[in-house]
Structure 1
Amino acid sequence: MGIEPSIAAGRKGSEVTGLPEETTTNNSKSAKKNRRKQRKQMPVQTLFEACKEVFANGGTGFIPPPDDVERLRSILDSLSPADVGLSPDMPYFRATTSRELPIITYLHLYECPNFSMGIFCLPPSGVLPLHNHPGMTVFSKLLFGTMHIKSYDWAGEVLATISPDTAAAPNATHAGGARARLAKLKVNADLVAPCNTSILYPASGGNMHCFTAVTACAVLDVLGPPYSDPDGRHCTYYLEHPFNRFSADGVSVPENEKDSFVWLQEREKPHDLIVLGAPYRGPRIVVS
């Protein structure tokens, strides 16, 4: 974190310029006040300020340095539902049988060109279908509940270690003319809160993922940078097809790994996916 500006200024004043003792005392009081303020700072404010620093020079394809990744991960790991004003008994999380897929609620915390913060609130059986995060680094913190995550990365680099002649992004055409791209399974598991923050990167870590709420749950997402159509960061949805359904010349995988590979075919946004925005009512984020 370094030395607080107020403390550094106080030391410089007393040691270099020879300020009167009264001024030095006032500086000391100010420093203590600032330290007390920091101790009282809300965790969500701490997260915001860290994101602002980490993604200050970010853009499409930006990956924060390892120390910054760990910094954000540590802050997110320590967050609780109460820190963002959530509890499982809120209306967002009530089970419903009125439609095939429950309505998902999105709480917008903050967004700028460099990063965004928001919370997805999923009732039981709520689904965020398989979608991508082009050129983005994403931190996902499960605040409470149980969520099933299934994620993939494009298979080019994996296949290159098996078959050096394989293209970086293997494509295939189904007999019906549909185009698809080969992907490798990264995660297929239930996450139960409290658990560690999940991180995905522009080309690894499970850039395409699907969330399914086993129980009512909430997940806080930090996207750096956020989706932006003008900048080419479109949210694309996918259908999954078994490896054996499509074929591509020169693409082969070991028999015992075929279940880990699928063909992903672009699709329109699912018609039954409804995500409604709602006001964020947790601790206020001070944007300075």
Structure 2
Amino acid sequence: MPRNNKTSLIQKIASQAYATFTNCSSSAIEDNNKVFLEHQADLVALLSDIRAADLKIAPPTKVSTSSPSVPPVTYMHICETDVFSMGVFLLKSGASIPLHDHPGMHGMLKVLYGKVSIRCYDKLDKAESDTERHFDPPLLAFQGDDVRRAALRSSGQFSELSGPCVLSPFKDNLHEIDAVDGAAAFLDILAPPYDPDDGRDCHYYRVLQTAGKKSEQSGDDEAWLLEIPQPDDFWCGGEPYPGPEVTI
């Protein structure tokens, strides 16, 4: 019988991600912004079509019982290169991925099943007013370099019918993700991948309080964020990826 040479959708996404994010430094994007945006639009279009069945995954058939030994989130590794990483995060019902950052990185998130709530923030440039923070009395102890001004860029819910959530080094770079009304899964692309040795380590944050004003830089709602260790109630396990093979 003839061999089926049809390219899978996830392979097309991986190839397009490689083309999109190769040489995607800030200066390179500024110098050739039109080409980058065209590549990115093609990638968004491909991601908009991906479904759980394309990766041979499906929502759980029963609600899993919570246990301290069971990770609230698991990850299916698909592929990683120096240019990007790609995999699937699976969130159990009620699970959350805490507020975290993606230093110098682009990202795309496409829900495969279920529904997630996503809140995106950006750190703001340090300002003179940072030394004159008007916290409520219980928050005075948090003053220091670990506290940063931030802007709430966006907040919304995403399902498998939604387009991808897109972040860049410049906008929506910090986000928190909550599973809504049951389990959820999403395809995740980061470019370049996390690499602590190259200054791309993951940091976690907690919202101390809203600043009660709009950012002069963007007009978005301001907040104060405290950098914290990885929360004790969050960790990520692993499980095998059952979908089509991806090669780059």
1:52-94 deviations in Å (ceiling 9; x for gaps): 222222357875711011011011001010111111136xx84
What is the TM-score with the length of structure 2 in the denominator?
0.82
Q: Secondary structure at the match of 1:49?
A: helix
Q: Which range is displaced more, 174-183 or 115-124?
A: 174-183
1:236 aligns with 2:195: no
Alignment of 1:100-115 (within 5 A): 103-115=72-84
- 1-structure distance, mates of 2:179, 2:130: 32
Counterparts of 2:237 and 2:179 in 1: how far apart (Å)?
16
Q: 2:127 aligns with which of 157, 167, 188?
A: 167
Contact 1:59 1:225 in 2 (8 A): no
CA separation of 1:265 and 1:177: change in aligned 2, threshold 3 A: closer
1:278 maps to: 239
Confirm or deny that 1:211 pairs with 2:192. Answer: no
Contact 2:80–2:86 (8 Å) recurs in 1 = yes
The question of 1:121 aligning with 2:90 is answered yes
Aligned length: 232
* Aligned mate of 1:132, from 92, 101, 115: 101
State the distance in 1 between where 2:150 and 2:21 align.
28
User: 2 CA distance for matches of 1:121 and 1:148?
Assistant: 14
Please state if 1:89 is matched with 2:89. Answer: no
Task: Please identify the structure whose Cα radius of gyration is greater.
Answer: 1
Runs of 4 or more above 3 Å deviation:
58-64, 99-102, 168-174
Q: 1:194 aligns with which of 161, 166, 181?
A: 161
1: CA distance between counterparts of 2:189 and 2:122?
19
The separation in 2 between residues aligned to 1:262 and 1:106, in whole angstroms, is 30
Matched residue, 1:178: 143
Using a 3 Å threshold, how does the CA distance of structure 1 residues 52 and 258 change in structure 2: closer, same or farther? Answer: closer
* TM-score, with length taken from structure 1: 0.72
1:43 is aligned to 2:9: yes
Residue range with higher mean Cα deviation, 273-282 or 52-61 = 52-61
Identity %: 31
- Shift of the 86–113 alpha-carbon distance from structure 1 to 2, 3 Å rule, reads same
Structure with greater proportional strand content: 2
Aligned with residue 19 of structure 2, among 32, 44, 53: 53
The aligned counterpart of 2:46 is 75
SS of 2:196's equivalent in the other structure is coil
Give CA deviations for 1:219-241 in whole Å, capped at 9, x if unaligned: 11111101100100010000101
Larger helix percent: 1
1:121-154 superposed Cα distances (whole Å, 9 cap, x missing partner): 0111111000001100101101111111111112
AA aligned opposite 2:87: G
Please give the secondary structure, in 1, of the residue aligned with 2:118: strand
Q: Which structure 2 residue ranges, 5 or more long, are not aligned?
A: 134-138
Task: Return the offset for 1:260.
Answer: 2.3
- Deviation track 1:20-63 (CA, whole Å, cap 9, x = no partner) reads xxxxxxxxxxxxx9xx83xx211011111112222222357875
Shift, 1:277, TM fit: 1.2
Q: CA separation in 2, counterparts of 1:266 and 1:202? A: 18
RMSD, aligned α-carbons? 3.1
What does residue 12 of structure 1 align with? Answer: none
Q: Greater relative contact order (Cα 8 A, min sep 6): structure 1 or 2?
A: 2
